Amino acid sequence: MAGSAWDCNAASGPPRHTVLVRVTQWITALCFFALLLSGIEILISHPRFYWGETGNVNSAPLFQFPIPASRGSVPTGYGYVLPDQNGWSRSLHFQAAWAVVFTGALYVLAGLLRRHFQRNLLPAPAHLSWRALSAAPAAHLRRTPPDEAEAWSYNLLQRLAYLAVIFALFPLAIWTGLAMSPAFVAAFPWAVEAFGGQQSARTIHFFVSVLLALFLLVHIAMVVLAGFRTRVRAMITGRLDAPRENA
Amino acid sequence: MKRPSRRALLTTGFSAAGLAVAARLADRYGLIPPDHGGLYGPGATLTYAAHRLLAYDSLAREFPRQLISARPFANPVAPPGEDFKRHQAEGFTHWRLAVDGLVERPASLSLADLKRLPVRSQITQLACEEGWSYIAEWTGTPLSEILDAVGARPQARWVVYFSMEHGWWESIDMADALHPQTLMSYAMNGGDLPVGFGGPLRLRVPRQLGYKSLKFVARLTVTDNLKKFGKGLGSASPEAGYSWYAGI
């Protein structure tokens, strides 16, 4: 094994994931769980979505979820009203949002300074050809086992998904969230006008959250398929053992 | 037990002193909300401080007339008490807005008194924390004009306002109290403010969510200390689990 990539498993070798990536990953995971839970609670108080500047129970919704609501004024068709959880849900949502913004800013700043994105996430230009891009999902679905080099890096679909989450979905979730704040848009009206109104921003915020939740589901499924214990250990301790579970 | 090193003691001491100085400064510059304690205090304080530092006097968005919602909505209120029914039967001619606290000339203003003060009309959005919203035109007396008329003292830091509806009260800082769009509104969309929307008097605070726009306002108190009111958290909202600052 001398000279192979697995030598890096020695305690003195570089970790699979740096301390900064591991710490920010788990804080982000915790915050995302809090944001998702509190976001669902907030949605339950008014499970209707609109487009444009305004919307309320007297106007036609873009769509409505067929679920009971935590407010009696919403016509849901159910004969009961769920308990009001908006107070702590909103407080938890904004506190977790602050935490994820600080964590994300630290991660992105460090990632740029240490060239983490260029080295580990940006696909090589050769991999961005139409052929490579169209072949990747099929290879992925055939579950071709990753080679040794891949265990130490990310494949093409992973790179594109991570880049989209870091540089498109999270920023868009933060932006649409701010666009719902009456005080924020008083100072920066373009932040909500860009979406065509406060209710449009709320609807986009919802769909971005759905995409982030879908990403999380696929991410966990891939971790399970690639070897749950090895992958999670690598993300906690930084160490990557021989891929027993892939054998 | 190992004795703490001198360096550790000095670092801890300086950090504690630094935090204490930062907290004093933040309080002095009005960056600490009254409900800053508790589990969600850090998030609430960050939001409030960020908004006061970045957007102290920015104006809420105003809209063209054609964007006024055809069918606005207001959350249902508890059935009115006998007092309110009597006022309603009298067409609110005996409704009074009491103004007291840190003011030179405490006053009791009728709707007619208020209408003699300068008027402002504005088409703004009311967004509820639940997620719905509407746009309407509100007309009323800027709160700053009322505070001017009664001579608010310079040490004033907050304006507390009480609804005739039992148990409902709110407060705002001077950034919102003196803000030109904070209106003691008595008219909506060109007519008297309907009771369902908080008539005869509703304090419209358009840079914050709907629950800060208290309905049936009957009293204002100017103060330098919110600890004296209720549980000392600034308003009835934090006592019910909602954040005092609702700019988000």
User: Nearest chain A Cα to B75, which residue?
Assistant: A73
Q: What ipTM score was computed for the predicted complex, to two decimals?
A: 0.92
User: Nearest chain A Cα to B175, which residue?
Assistant: A183
pLDDT at A26: 96
With an 8 Å Cβ cutoff, is B56 touching chain A? no
Exposed, middle or buried by CB within 10 Å (0-12, 13-18, 19+), for A12? exposed
Q: Under DSSP, is residue B134 helix (H, G, I), strand (E, B) or coil?
A: strand
Domain B60-239 falls under CATH 3.90.420.10: yes
**Nearest-neighbour CA in chain A from B103: distance (Å):** 28
Chain B residues in contact with A53 by the CB 8 A cut-off are 63, 67, 125, 133, 135
User: Nearest chain A Cα to B55, which residue?
Assistant: A187
B229 backbone dihedrals φ, ψ, rounded to 5°: -110, 130
> Do A73 and B76 lie within an 8 Å CB cutoff?
yes
All structural domains of chain A with their residue ranges = 140-247
Find the mean pLDDT for residues A96-121.
95
Taking only the tens of pLDDT, chain B with its 248 residues reads 567 787 788 888 888 888 888 888 888 889 999 999 999 999 999 999 999 999 999 999 999 999 999 999 999 888 888 999 999 999 999 999 999 999 999 999 999 999 999 999 999 999 999 999 999 999 999 999 999 999 999 999 999 999 999 899 999 999 999 999 999 999 999 999 999 999 999 999 999 999 999 999 999 999 999 999 999 999 999 999 999 999 99
- Nearest-angstrom CA–CA distance, B96 and B159: 17
Name the strand (E) or helix (H) holding B187.
strand B183-188
With an 8 Å Cβ cutoff, is B78 touching chain A? no
In residues, how long is chain B?
A: 248
With an 8 Å Cβ cutoff, is A40 touching chain B? no
With an 8 Å Cβ cutoff, is A194 touching chain B? no
With an 8 Å Cβ cutoff, is A86 touching chain B? yes
pLDDT at B171: 98
Chain B residues in contact with A92 by the CB 8 A cut-off are 40
Name the DSSP letter for residue A113.
Answer: H
In this complex, the residue of A88, A94, A202 whose CB is nearest that of residue B47 is: A94
All structural domains of chain B with their residue ranges = 60-239
pLDDT at A146: 66
Q: Check pLDDT > 60 for residue A27.
A: yes
